[in-house]
Structure 1
Amino acid sequence: MKVLALHGAGGSPSDWDPVVEELRGLHEVVALPLEGPWDWESVLDRIEPHAGDNPAVLGVSLGGMVAALWGRRHPECPAVIDVDGHGVPTQPQRHVDPDLAAIADLRERFKAYGQPELQRAMEELDCFEVFREVRCPMLLAVATKPFPGQLLFDSYAAGLARDLPTLPANITVERYDDSHAVLATDPHLVATLVKDFLEHR
């Protein structure tokens, strides 16, 4: 099966190289760049020329959010695989009891990455609203561990624990024993998630 792979914020298509190699002979994985402008419809429009033969779409973090948006646009998509792309911790609605001061502080820290348009676009996108409108088969893989220095993880994880059970039946939620950085720390785990979910698609 053809699989389009979408990297996370600050990443590049080469982040997928170990997964591409592991899936060689099983699936044709085509890693694409994600870049602005960050109007979500135009981001999807830039993917369309690569989407012949109705591919599955795989993404991590930002790429997972875009993959879900693709699935909403394309109910005929055979599979969406979203690795830990379910929002950002600066969204108060993603927390059970949001600490608004801590969220504001984290928002200021994110400004140091120098992509204010992307930061704003991600914060304005409610992924759970998107998920509820996806009609194709979808895997949402969720990290169970914070990466070093990750802020507000426990509060955000509590919000996920509240919201994940509300998702429709076409979305399979699978928790994995690693962090948001899993594509870098354990690409074999990511490749296994992909192989297992696509096995009968």
Structure 2
Amino acid sequence: MKVLALHGAGGSPADWDPVITALNGNHDLVPLPLEGPWDWDSILDRIEPHATDNPAVLGMSLGGMVAALWGRRHPECPAVINIDGHGVPTQPQRYLNPTAVTGKIATLREQFRAYGQPDLQQALEDLDCFPVFRALSCPMLLAVATKPLPGHPLFEEYQQGLARDLATLPPNIDVVHMDTTHAATREDPQLVADLITNYLATR
């Protein structure tokens, strides 16, 4: 099956090379670049010319969020595979008690913006993925990392709110948990390849 592959923020299409190797010829993975301007509709418009033959769409982090938006636009999509693309930890609505973590969120927001691309950071923060997920009618696999990246100050609190929200998703979305950090495609490309292969086997 043809699968469009969308990388994470700060990444490139080459990030999928280890996963392509691990797939060992299963599926035609087509990595695409994600670039600004960071208007979601225009990003989807730029993907459209590559979407011949109704492909599945795979995304990591930012790419997973875009893949979900694609699935909402295209209910005929055979499958969306979303690798840990469920939002960013600077979104207060993802916490059980947002008031208790206001200061930490503000600090983390400044850290993120210091990396550059503040327009992308703002676009990510403004996009609440869960209404997008609930609007999907096509099938989606959402793979959630269970280990923190080094220096993540809000991982446990974010995971608690995420668990609350994951429990509200409709039955066309399958949620699995990965024994990796957010950098799953780099840490365990074979795991990601197996997720792709097993999920698409039923599509």
Tell me the TM-score normalized by structure 2.
Answer: 0.97
Gaps of 5+ in 2: none
Structure 2 residue aligned with 1:37: 37
CA RMSD of aligned residues (A): 0.7
Q: Which amino acid aligns with 2:145?
A: A
**In structure 2, how many angstroms separate the alpha carbons of the residues matched to 1:142 and 1:200?**
20
Structure 2 residue aligned with 1:188: 190
**In structure 2, how many angstroms separate the alpha carbons of the residues matched to 1:26 and 1:185?**
20
Give, in angstroms, the shift of residue 149 of structure 1. 1.3
* 2:23 and 2:190 in contact (8 A); partners too: no
> In the alignment, is residue 50 of structure 1 matched against residue 50 of structure 2?
yes
> In the alignment, is residue 172 of structure 1 matched against residue 199 of structure 2?
no
Moved more, 144-153 or 167-176: 144-153
Give, in angstroms, the shift of residue 19 of structure 1. 1.0
Give, in angstroms, the shift of residue 178 of structure 1. 0.7
**In structure 1, how many angstroms separate the alpha carbons of the residues matched to 2:97 and 2:193?**
35
> In the alignment, is residue 5 of structure 1 matched against residue 32 of structure 2?
no
> In the alignment, is residue 81 of structure 1 matched against residue 95 of structure 2?
no
Give, in angstroms, the shift of residue 69 of structure 1. 0.3
After superposition, give the CA deviation of every residue in 1:121-145 in whole Å (9 maximum; x if it has no partner): 0000000010000110100000111
* 2:18 and 2:186 in contact (8 A); partners too: no
Tell me the TM-score normalized by structure 1.
Answer: 0.98
Q: Aligned residues, how many?
A: 201
Q: Which amino acid aligns with 2:110?
A: E
Give, in angstroms, the shift of residue 18 of structure 1. 1.2
Give, in angstroms, the shift of residue 193 of structure 1. 0.7
**In structure 2, how many angstroms separate the alpha carbons of the residues matched to 1:166 and 1:78?**
22
Gaps of 5+ in 1: none
After superposition, give the CA deviation of every residue in 1:66-104 in whole Å (9 maximum; x if it has no partner): 000000000000000000000000000011112111101
**In structure 1, how many angstroms separate the alpha carbons of the residues matched to 2:49 and 2:23?**
23
Structure 2 residue aligned with 1:136: 138
**In structure 2, how many angstroms separate the alpha carbons of the residues matched to 1:23 and 1:182?**
15
Structure 2 residue aligned with 1:110: 112
Give, in angstroms, the shift of residue 24 of structure 1. 4.0
**In structure 2, how many angstroms separate the alpha carbons of the residues matched to 1:121 and 1:97?**
23
Please identify runs of 4+ aligned residues in structure 1 that moved more than 4 A: none
- Classify the secondary structure of the residue corresponding to 2:29: strand
Give, in angstroms, the shift of residue 166 of structure 1. 0.3
Give, in angstroms, the shift of residue 22 of structure 1. 2.3
Q: Which amino acid aligns with 1:89?
A: P
Structure 2 residue aligned with 1:163: 165
